[in-house]
Structure 1
Amino acid sequence: MTRTGHQPTQLEFSEVGEGAHLHLAKALEQARGQIEAAFIRIGDKLANSVGVLNDLAATFEELPKDFESREMNAANAQLQALVTQSAQIAASIRQERPLMSALRDATTATHGTIAKLERSIMTIRIVALNARITAASTSIAGEQMALYSEEMPMLSSEASETVSAFAKLFSVMASSVEQAYEERRRVDVLQETRLSDLSTELGSYLCQIDRKRQDAAQNSSATMESSRNIASRISSVVLTLQVGDNIRQRIEHVEEGLRYASDIAAGKGCAAMDISGPLYFEQAELVSVTLVRMQEQQLRDVQASLEIEIGTARQAIATLARDVSQAMERAKELYSGTADGGSMVAFLSSRMRSAASLLDECAKDQARTEQLSNVIKKTVADLLAYVDQVKDIEVRMKLLSHNAKIKSNSMGARGKALNAISDQVRELTENVVVVAEAVIEKLQLAAQCSESLVASGDAFEHGYMRDLGKDALSAVGLLEAVDARLGRAASKMKSEGPKVSALLDAAALELSSQYQLAQTIGDVAARLNAALDNQCSLQGGPYHNACSDARWNDVCDAAFASLRQHYNMQSERQIHDIVLGLPTPSSESEDASLEFFDPQGEGDSDNFVDDVFF
């Protein structure tokens, strides 16, 4: 077998303290158990933090779907429609105001004309009464005077009753118009102002809500990705900490090596190294000491690896903890409410409810306007029927006055007074017709104003306005539901985020405690080195390659070759080869060769191993 390294040196061996090696193996076993338990605890904490982060990621993953759903877009469109229609209804109210004034003016004007009609009919009744009295004062037989004493009073009474019913019906309509006018005058300006203000305000808030919706969707995606990214990084740390299992295996191999050394030094065989029985004393001592030296070097490499991995893991966990803390701060900013501390959607909901209530009021006003229009339309139709009756009476009155004229002329001087009465009745009747036609004209004007008033509100039929308000409230309900889910997600982030930070901090603290275990491993290595120095007398310079001794033979080669096959890691094999002076893949490069750890300068320390075993 070809070996590299220093020239062979002669060693003198004395009895190696195999009992101390077993004690040190026991110390390593205890340290290994602590490392195993610690890395399990650390892994559990990190795994729990990954679970929390994945749960948070799943929560925020659903939010963008809510924000960008078809229902949400429809809700936004409904709210926008309410804003748009509110502005249009406000404009409609402004347009209706002069129409309502025109209706009132037409009704008022009609009222004066009807009063004139009533006075004309009253005059006819008085004239008819005079005709009756005059007829009674004549000496003419009663049947001949029936025209004056019966027909004329009866016809005038009929005209009076017709006009009285006409005036009464019109009075009801005029009262309704006046009441509607006063009510609209009282609320129109207020409704118009409120609708205009709400439209402007809600339009502004809808824009903010839409921006917030887009931002929240992006922020939720970013939060989800950030949570999963951090979870992935933590998982990477967990995988990195699998070195803890490597460390455990390497320590376990060192424990076995120390037990092998103790057995061989005690003259026993070692099946693991294909040593079936006792070796010659010098070979046993040589193999045992070399084996101990090999374990000492393995431990020093284990200590260095453990400290490096602890430091790397601590730094990674500290970075993760900082990132989690920053993510929590961003969450507070991203999912905070409006400047006054309330939710923008909650405020919008309140204003939308006000708008819906106002639209309901407008719908009621529109319904009352339509009802008034129907009343006016029906009243005008009824009034026109009365006017037709008045015209019929006028025709009959004309015929009556004509017959009376003939009758009075036939009486000579006695009929002179009756003749004057007949002329007066004819004139009054003609005047009634003129007044009645004026009433019809003004009623038709009032009807036209009423129809125009209703037509101006046809685009905003009261049922539609109520539906618009209901749709808006339904849309707000959807916004509130999504906002509530966003709030719960943000609250979950605020409550669960610190748990992740706490778990990471606890894992970092647990890792820090592993430095003491690394020191314990280093102390065992130092004790092994001290034991070798105390029991081996070196000649020709410092000890390097025990196997370069002349007494090293094929049995020793076979034993260590068998041992090498038990290793799982390349680092173990490399140290094994260097201790034996065998070629390594990097032996051609001098600066890449692995040197022994220099035990000089470490000195004794009052540590755990000293207190227990020495």
Structure 2
Amino acid sequence: MTALARQTQTALPTASDLRALVPGIVEPRERIETTFVAVGDRLTKGAAMLNRITRIFEALPQSLESPELHEASARLAAIGTESQAIAAVFATEQADLARLVSVVAAADHPISDLRRTVKMMGIVAINARVVAAGIVGDGDDFEVFTTDIAKLSESASRTIQEFSTVYRQLTDEVRRAAEQRAHFEAAHADTLSGLAASMDGSLEAVTRQRQASVDGSAETGRVSRQIGGRIASAVMALQVGDATRQRLEHVETALETLANLFDGNSVAGANLSSEEHDAALAAITSLQAAQLASAAEAFTGDVADAANALSDLATDARTIMVRSRDIYGQGKAGAQSPLAALSDQLRHAAEVLRDCETERGKLEIVAGAVQATVQSLLGHVEAVQEIEANMRLVSLNAAVKCAQLGPRGTALNVIASQLRELTGETVAAAETAMSGLHEAAGLAQSFGAAASGDAAGQVGQLEQEATAALGLLETVDQTLAEALGVLNLDGPKVVNLLGEAASSFADQSAISEAMADMHVLIVQYSADHIDPPSEALAAVLSALRTKYTMDAERRIHEQLFGKDLTAPPPVIASEASAEADLDDLFF
């Protein structure tokens, strides 16, 4: 349809009619501004959080391979090995203590025999006095029967009493040591050997995590680079909002320009006659219809691309969260990372070793008491041996005296025989008791040395090593905990922000429909064929062209009117500066 043919069918619109079209352009333009500003804000915040998360987790493999963690792992491995060695020493010590208990208990019988012998000696001393008093005569010396045997009996009784008292003390000390050792075994049975096994298991778990961290770092880096690309794609896709807004503004300007021309106003120094209004209407509305159709088409496609880019970005964010939790822990509610679990276990190990050291201190006290008591008991051995010698001497003197008395000494000879018999029993009992007590002294020395020697010191050293390793582990674990804290705090926010940004485009079809409706209203004033514009109209079209900011607008303009109306194109920012602007906007 030509402009002239259309004019015969419909009347020209008034300037008011043309201006009435403008609100239909303003409404989608304002919606675009509101929507894309909100989406851009969410993308900016989400991208910043996501970049922070990816940077933190890209750096974690270095933390897990740090010298501090290697040193802590080496210390823990040493703790496990030394714990097994100390457990073996404790087992030997237990055997020595059990033998000590047995030896001390075995000495009870010969010491009881000594006490019985001394008691019988007291009876013999009384009998000797009585018999000697009955046969005493002038010039007879019965001092061996009336005095020597009694003194020997008193001395032996006193010595054996002291000896028995110390022995009972030794028995109590050894029993206490056995009870203390039993308490130690009950509290810490298999603790040290179990500690070594659990340390090995935990170290293997940490080693697996470190390997998984190293293996996963490449994938994390790939996803991070992919995220960077998606952010760039989303940023570029969001430029459709600003581009469409500008194109709609140019349509508004063109409609206002046409309305001004219909009002008889001058535009770009040109005034149109009433006869030129029809040509201006056809040219400008056809141009704006084409511009609007092109803008709507680009908007629809680019909005879909932007929505997809944001959706993919949200998916990548979820991937980073899932992978990071799988590798570093807290992937499930209440779960711990192997490093955190090892820290907890090591903290418990330090407490166990501290308890072991406390129990060892108690054993050391008991072992010292046993040693002191055994030494005290051995100090009485000389007194027992002296009793033995004195009994032999008194028995010999009694036998000699009885031989001198002849028939009168028959009764006293019986007493001398009893004394010799008691002397023999004393010798046998003393030898048995002494052999057992000397063995007890050696065992007590061995037990005491074990309780206060290298093994005891190593327990305390192990506790110090565990505490030091715990400090190193906690430093690395704190870094990991902070990273997981950021992940748990910001991760869901990132996913929500990007999801909301993507869903914001769900109602963009309404904007496209609004532009399509405006296209229908504008195209009714256009023409199938546009005559070459007059000089005045060409000036107006050139003025409109100078406002274009996109090549797409210029191409449509040239397709309708050719290049003879082309004005010098405006300066377009270089790609480098455009990228810099995007960086300033989003990062």
**Band of TM-score, shorter chain:** 0.7 to 0.9
Matched with 1:609 is none
Deviation sequence 1:502-534 (CA, Å, 0-9, x none): 43333233223223223322333333332133x
Structure-to-structure mapping, 1:94-243, within 5 angstroms = 94-140=91-137, 144-178=141-175, 180-181=177-178, 184=181, 188=185, 192-193=189-190, 196=193, 199-201=196-198, 203-212=200-209, 214-215=211-212, 226=223, 230=227, 233-234=230-231, 236-243=233-240
Query: Match for 1:158: what amino acid?
Result: S
Answer yes or no: is the 8 Å Cα contact 2:237–2:303 preserved in 1.
no
- Give the 3 Å change call, closer, same or farther, for CA 502–564 of structure 1 in structure 2: same
**Shift, 1:40, TM fit:** 0.9
**Distance in 2 of aligned mates of 1:253 and 1:324:** 39
1:387 corresponds, among 381, 385, 399, to: 381
Shift of 1:162: 0.6
Q: Is the 8 A contact 2:282 2:526 kept in 1?
A: yes
1:309-348 Cα offsets, whole Å, 9 max, x none, are 1121122223233334455555665566699975476876
When normalised by structure 1's length, the TM-score is 0.75
Distance in 2, Cα, partners of 1:134 & 1:186: 59
1:316 to 306, 309, 317: 309
1:527 alignment counterpart: 521
Q: Is the 8 A contact 2:57 2:324 kept in 1?
A: no
Query: Which residue of the partner structure matches residue 573 of structure 1?
Result: 554
After superposition, the CA RMSD in angstroms is 4.4
Work out the CA distance in 2 between the residues paired with 1:482 and 1:159: 73
Q: Say which SS state the counterpart of residue 95 (structure 1) adopts.
A: helix
Aligned to 1:258: 255
The amino acid that maps onto 1:47 is T
Distance of 1:335 and 1:465 partners within structure 2: 33
Residues 143 and 233 (structure 1 numbering): CA distance in 2 closer, same or farther, change over 3 Å?
farther
- Mapping for residues 32-47 of structure 1, pairs under 5 Å: 32-47=29-44
Structure-2 residue corresponding to 1:611: none
| Cα separation, 2, equivalents of 1:453 and 1:337 | 49
Change (3 A) 1:162 1:413: same
Q: Is 1:543 matched up with 2:524?
A: no
Cα deviation, residue 269, structure 1 = 1.2
Unpaired segments ≥5 residues, structure 1: 1-8, 534-541, 586-614
Does the Cα contact within 8 Å between 1:90 and 1:192 map onto a contact in 2?
no
CA distance in 2, matches of 1:512, 1:431: 113
Aligned length in residues? 560
| Alpha-carbon shift at residue 160 of structure 1 (Å) | 1.8
TM-score for both structures, normalised by structure 2: 0.78
| Cα deviations by residue, 1:289-317 (Å, 9 ceiling, x for unpaired) | 43343333222222222122112112222
Contact 1:93–1:192, Cα closer than 8 Å, also in 2: no
2:431 is aligned with 1:443: no
Task: Tell me the CA shift for residue 440 of structure 1.
Answer: 2.7
- Asked if structure 2 preserves the Cα contact closer than 8 Å seen for 1:159 and 1:393, the reply is yes
Letter of the 2:529 counterpart = Y
Mapped partners of 1:87, 1:525: distance in 2: 87
Q: 1:211 Cα deviation (Å)? A: 2.3
Deviations 1:193-237 (Å, cap 9, x if unpaired)? 565555445533442344245546876896698578536633541
**Which residue does the alignment assign to 1:511?**
505
Is the 1:254–1:295 contact (alpha carbons within 8 Å) kept by the matching residues of 2? yes
* Cα deviation 1:168-190 (Å, max 9, x = unaligned): 21133234434544775787589
Distance 1:10 1:187, change over 3 A: closer
Gaps of 5+ in 2: 567-587
Q: Contact conserved, 1:47 with 1:235, CA < 8 A, in 2?
A: no
**Distance in 2 (alpha carbons) for counterparts of 1:559 and 1:112:** 134
Q: Which is worse superposed, 34-43 or 489-498?
A: 489-498
Identity in percent: 31
The one of 268, 281, 290 aligned to 2:283: 290
Greater shift, 121-130 or 142-151, is seen at: 142-151
For residues 320-335 of structure 1, the aligned pairs below 5 Å read 320-327=313-320, 329-330=322-323, 333-334=326-327
Match of 1:301 in 2: 294
Deviation of the 1:461 alpha carbon: 3.6
Distance change (3 Å), C-alpha of 1:171 and 1:220 = farther
User: Is the contact made by 1:57 and 1:225 (CA closer than 8 Å) also made in structure 2?
Assistant: no
